[in-house]
Amino acid sequence: MPACLTPLTTAARLRPSEPLRLPIGLPEFDRLTGGLPRGSLTEIFGPPSSGRTTLLLAALLAAAASQQTCALVDATDAFDPASAAQAGFPLDRLLWIRCGGEAERALRAADRVVNAGGFGLVVLDLADLAPRILGRIPPLCWFRLRRAVEGTPAILVVATPQPLTGACASLLVEMKGGRAHWAGAPNARLLVGSAFQAFPRKPVRAEAASFQAPARWAR
């Protein structure tokens, strides 16, 4: 090979040491994690009312704002289109796949969507499935999904009640429910929002990202 081409070859082999990331518009979360990594699997886990869906909605909003097409594989049909629309999400941009409570269907659907290519953000929502159903998912599924998304600009986010994906997740976030905020007199209360905390577990961060999620009628 001519010596003059050596620098070009070296440059061609260069790969970004860190994957590109999508900031989701929550300043503390973005500062701690840098955003959701592209070409990787991100897992968000936590108990009910811990802010998993709010975080997913923030990610969907961020992806839509950068004109990307999104897909939501919804294992338990839990997505509320009204919440998303009122938050400003363009529903036309979302491919919603309702799996009727079947984990296997959800995994197969996610596999199909990721392999179709062209989606900027693919969300696999398993957050309401029972632990005994989730326990039956073979770890190979996660390797397969991670392999499918690697090298693409897509972001795969899995929402679960407990950590599931093991070594396959590049970013693992634990959500913890904070305090609900109420307004008004004791006999005329109004839910005005809730505070959540996100703890990055992989890579581990000492601090948590806190954020407030106001109720849509209190915005």
Partner 1 sequence: MFACLHVPGLPASQQALLPECAAAFSPKVEPTAPDAVTLALEGLERLFGSLEKLAWAMAQRAADLGWEARVAVASNPDAALAAARGLPGVTVIPAGREAEVLAPLPVAVLEPAPEIAETLARWGIRTLGELAALPERGLAERLGSEGVRLQKRARGAAVRALAPVAAPAVLEERLELEHPAALLEPLLFLLARLLEQLCRRLQARGLAALELRLHLDLEDGGEHLRVYRLPVPMRAPGAFLKLLRLDLEAHPPRAAVRALRLSAGPAAPRSVQHGLFVPRAPEPEKLELTLARLAALVGEDRVGAPELLDTHRPDAFRLKRFRAGEPGRFAGGRRAGGVSLALRRFRPPLPARVEAPEGRPRVVLAQGVHGRVVEAAGPWRVSGEWWRTEGYWREEFDVALAGGGLYRIYRDGLRGGWFVEGSYD
Minimum Å gap between C-beta 54 and partner 1 is: 5
Counting contacts by CB under 8 A, is residue 123 touching partner 1?
A: no
What's the closest the beta carbon of residue 57 comes to partner 1, in angstroms? 5
Cα angle vertex 68, ends 162, 60, to 5°?
Answer: 35
213 counts as binding partner 1 under rule CB under 8 A: yes
Q: Strand pairing of 121-125 and 155-160?
A: parallel
What residues numbered 44-83 form the site for partner 1, per CB under 8 A? 47-58, 61-62, 64-69, 76-83
- CA 7 to CA 17: how far, in whole Å? 19
For residue 40, state whether it binds partner 1 (rule: CB under 8 A).
no
Among 20, 95, 133, 134, binds partner 1 (CB under 8 A): 95
Binding test (CB under 8 A) with partner 1, winner from 6, 131, 182, 207: 182
**Which C-beta is closer to partner 1: that of 6 or that of 83?**
83
Does 41 participate in binding partner 1 (rule CB under 8 A)? no
Residue 119 lies near partner 1 (rule: CB under 8 A):
yes
16 forms part of the interface with partner 1 (CB under 8 A): no
Nearer to partner 1 (CB atom), residue 116 or residue 167? 116
- Is there binding between residue 28 and partner 1 (CB under 8 A)? no
Question: Residue 76 phi/psi, 5° resolution?
Answer: -115, 20
Using CB under 8 A as the binding criterion, the count of chain residues that bind partner 1 stands at: 79
Q: Residues 6 or more apart from 38 whose CB is under 8 A from it?
A: 19, 20, 21, 22, 152, 153, 154, 155
Q: Return the number of the residue (122 or 164) whose C-beta is nearest partner 1.
A: 122
